[in-house]
Amino acid sequence: MMTKIDVISGFLGAGKTTLIRKLIAEVYKGEQLVLIENEFGEISVDGGFLQDAGVQISEMSSGCICCSLVGDFGKALKEVQEQFHPDRILIEPSGVGKLSDVIAAAEKAAEECGGMELNSAVTVVDGSKVKVYMKNFGEFYNNQVEHAGTIVLSRTQKLSQEKLEAAVALLREKNHDAAIVITPWDELGGEQLRHAVEKEDMAKALMEEHHHHHHDEHCGCHEHEHHHHDEHCDCHEHEHHHDHEHHHDHEHHHDHDGHCCCGHDHHDHNHAADEVFTSWGTETAKKFSREELEKILAALDSGAYGAILRAKGILPTAEGEWLHFDYVPEEHEVRSGSAEYTGRLCVIGSALKEAELKTLFGV
């Protein structure tokens, strides 16, 4: 079994230790864990707490992982792997280290040792200090932001909506792709944190959900019953070339005597080869009201935003409520639900008009 390596970085005082405790207690519960700390004048994680949780501590007190310890890092990981065979190794680098160096060292060690893989790189950021730290600590601070797969903001409950959005905008300038956790941690369960750390792809999940839903006996198109007797079902992200001299061996390719399930009109008997479903999605710190969201979802039926098949998301309100929404053509649902690490939404369909969708949602 492959041991996962997760790096939890962050500047001094950002709250790494608190996050690590939450991850261990709620996200990685029941896993055999090893925490490798790299001390650089920091108070070490409370050893008693970690040992109670079944975590072994291998302290590295002789400096920073990314400089003096690069040479020994592979050796340390190998020893940990051989001694404990853990499910997961958590690395807490020094608060002043360069995350890119830690990632490079972890990847090199995993390659040399075998049986290990870098799973995630998380950076904890104090939401109230983003601007001043970027200005004062430049390269070191920005490196931790730029190389993170997930950025977890701490102390967001103390920020105004305006300051929170400004902090997220600064982080996005440095890192377009990271999941950014803006919800106060005490409102998040382990599952939501796992979504963020594992960078669960909402678009992929939605595509799969749509695909399974529409591959029942009648290919699922209840809204539009198009009879294309020689047609292939085309309701997923794969391109299908309706060129009948080619042999098709897709496992989910069906010749149905009946229903095409893409949910929009076909004027030509043959589908164009490039008619593929695409997705558009985003994370957002914006707050929505239920009325605003209902209007947005109703507007998706207009055709002005492309041929939309599915939309899904979890968005926050100004009152601290979270709205979960689901959309299929001519039908949508908005309900209250549990918090997510940030506002997230995803739309799938064909000929999506992304700029118009961004304007519609105001993101």
State the DSSP H helix or E strand holding residue 116, giving kind and residue range, or none if neither: strand 116-126
Residue with tokens 């009201």: 289
pTM strictly above 0.75: no
- Per residue in 177-190, pLDDT tens? 999 999 998 898 88
70-84 and 99-113 helices, crossing angle to 10°: 50
Which of 30-34, 35-39, 84-88, 233-237 is the least confident region? 233-237
Q: What is the mean pLDDT of the chain?
A: 76
pLDDT beyond 80 at 120: yes
* pLDDT, mean of residues 340-360: 91
Residue 313 has what pLDDT? 93
Residues 22 and 25: their CA atoms lie apart, in Å, by 5
Residue 274 has what pLDDT? 37
Residue 350 has what pLDDT? 83
Residue with tokens 């797969």: 149
- Per residue in 151-172, pLDDT tens? 999 999 889 999 999 999 999 9
CB 125 within 8 A of CB 142: no
pLDDT beyond 50 at 345: yes
Q: How buried is 299 (Cβ within 10 angstroms: 0-12 exposed, 13-18 middle, 19+ buried)?
A: middle
Which of 26-40, 113-127, 138-152, 155-169 is the least confident region? 26-40
- Per residue in 189-222, pLDDT tens? 888 888 888 877 777 777 877 666 655 433 333 3
DSSP per residue, 293-353: HHHHHHHGGGSBTBEEEEEEEEEE-TTS-EEEEEEETTEEEEEEE---SSEEEEEEEES--
* pLDDT, mean of residues 233-260: 35
* pLDDT, mean of residues 55-62: 59
* pLDDT, mean of residues 54-65: 55
R_g of the chain, CA atoms, integer Å: 24
Higher pLDDT, 280 or 205: 280
* pLDDT, mean of residues 261-267: 35
